[in-house]
Structure 1
């Protein structure tokens, strides 16, 4: 007999529930800036790496162009980024932060950085959870990319 699958025993369900809670937290934390979570992580990537091509941003965030293009159009419309064709390769579109994005960086960091303290995780707990989730992600990626038997 096959063992029944109980929802509360599923790792995927635990991660799903936690992800929903993160979405609620970030919706509140980012509301003063009128940013969505995908827009926020796009800005984080640009804060970290500087000007990048649209393709590089997509690779960094694991987002496809169908998701990234409207997201970037909105960020540009709202004054967070500029997009411009590369002078070296006109097929390449470079994305840069605006003065607005740069001036609000520390305020965003401070406002959103409260997440870890809000959930009352010690540094060691934080590192253990992050390492565990990163490990699950790597194992899922490997499992998905393996040919079926």
Structure 2
């Protein structure tokens, strides 16, 4: 571990910068800000994805498949940080909507390959408006959103490391 990170960890472990009187005030909680922002973002996505007939988790699956079609369930799960028990029912519903197909791999029947249908591929064109609408709703530039995203990605990695 690098010295900067070690110092940061020691500071966090001792609670430096947090007084006990305000440590548990809701408005001071980072986790609550992330949670409340997530709720607002999910509400926005619900509105934007309704015309596409997608839920937010379905939209995430579609984005992964639009990037690279013909992935295994495990590959999709790894990209989305979801286990197959969560992903499989979602994929079954999407298959019923005729957005994708699930087929056992010929080489290894334990693997399920997920491919887009023509209808699923065609949905991409409609979905292209979603990121622009989110950026517009955020009322900031692409640079600011990219910076916030980069910071969140770093934090996710740190939290994942701390949780393992």
TM-score by length of 1: 0.92
Give the match for residue 139 of structure 1: 158
Q: Is the 8 A contact 1:29 1:112 kept in 2?
A: no
Q: Tell whether 2:21 aligns with 1:3.
A: yes
Q: Tell whether 2:43 aligns with 1:35.
A: no
Q: Tell whether 2:134 aligns with 1:91.
A: no
- CA-atom RMSD, angstroms? 1.4
CA displacement 1:32-76 (0-9 Å, x = unmatched): 122110000000001112210111111111111221011000000
| Secondary structure of residue in 2 paired with 1:138 | helix
Q: List aligned pairs for 1:29-108, cutoff 5 A.
A: 29-108=48-127
- Structure 2: give runs of 5+ residues left out of the alignment: 1-18
Which piece of structure 1 moves more, 108-117 or 58-67? 108-117
Number of residue pairs matched by the alignment = 145
Q: Is the 8 A contact 1:26 1:112 kept in 2?
A: no
| Secondary structure of residue in 1 paired with 2:20 | coil
Shift of the alpha carbon at 1:140? 0.5
Shift of the alpha carbon at 1:122? 1.1
Asked which structure has the greater RCO (Cα within 8 Å, sep 6+), the reply is: 1
Distance 1:88 1:103 in 2: 29
| Secondary structure of residue in 1 paired with 2:114 | strand
Which piece of structure 1 moves more, 47-56 or 75-84? 47-56
- Structure 1: give runs of 5+ residues left out of the alignment: none
TM-score by length of 2: 0.84
- Structure with larger Rg: 2
